[in-house]
Amino acid sequence: MNLSTIIIFILSAFSIILTSCEKEDIDNRTKYFPKSELKPDIIPDKDKTWVFVLAGQSNMAGRAQVEPNDTIPNERIFSINKNGELILAKEPLHFYEPTMTGLDSGLSFGKELINQIPDSISILLIPTAVGGSAISQWIHDSTFRNVTLFSNFKEKMQIGKKYGSIKGILWHQGESDAATTETIQIYDNQLKELFTLFRTEADDFSLPIFIGELGSFSENDDNWQAINKKIKEYTETDPNAYLIKTADFNDKGDRVHFDSEGQRQMGIRFAEKFMMTQE
């Protein structure tokens, strides 16, 4: 066997190993994904359905491991599929990035919320987050990862209005904007600009918006904390914006994305903060 043949053999073997590892990673990520959608037998009354829009980048789109308890539906918690059809909510809720999506905080938010509101009320969770998206891309309606961000948001908001009343927006974003000093400096002003657009679309300039902090585990932590400072400064100027703390959450091992427990806890904190606005 000559040297060229040996090299080709080694490269082929290495390629097979990589392919096998990639398949194993995919299998692990999707191991507990639901195998089917459940459409409701009865659509809840519009005047008894509270709608929440999930927006932002990957930590809202979800990258954590989905586990069996995350796929147990509740007859009062709904979402939509990629065709805009009403379904019973199961994780993962987001469908824009099928090769990456995982557990987000939406279902845990819904489950916590229904424990604190009248039994007659249903929850509709509308997913619009796209991983890696910068806030300027939302403001300028850029197309990113095959999603035209603000146009998609508007479209999904209309679906929400069809089925219920818009009660709030859950926002988690900022990792992309932590990349440069320039984008950090203007982040609070861009939040104001984008949230004005969101509220205009909702026909409610007092619409509550709940903003999750970036995690405290980044390799670029100074910049991430600078974004968190901007978020805090913004919430101090907007009486209808609310800060969700995340400093005690862990990452899933990549120093970028919250782990499964962090995602569930963030959903609970979103719900608790929303209930404070109802007092």
Q: What is the pLDDT of residues 210-230, one digit of tens each?
A: 999 999 999 999 999 999 999
What domains does the chain contain, in order, with CATH numbers? 45-277 (3.40.50.1110)
From CA 178, how far away is CA 203, in angstroms rounded?
31
Say if strands 86-88 and 143-144 run parallel, antiparallel, or are unpaired: unpaired
Strands (E), 133-224: 143-144, 147-148, 165-172, 209-212
The token duo for 171 is 């926002």
Asked if residue 171 lies in contact with residue 192, where contact means CB atoms within 8 angstroms, the answer is: no
For 84-103, b/e burial (b = at least 16 CB within 10 A) is: eebbbbbbbbbebbeebbbb
pTM, full prediction:
0.91
Q: Determine the pLDDT at residue 19.
A: 40
Q: Give per-residue pLDDT as tens, 244-271.
A: 999 999 999 999 999 999 999 999 999 9
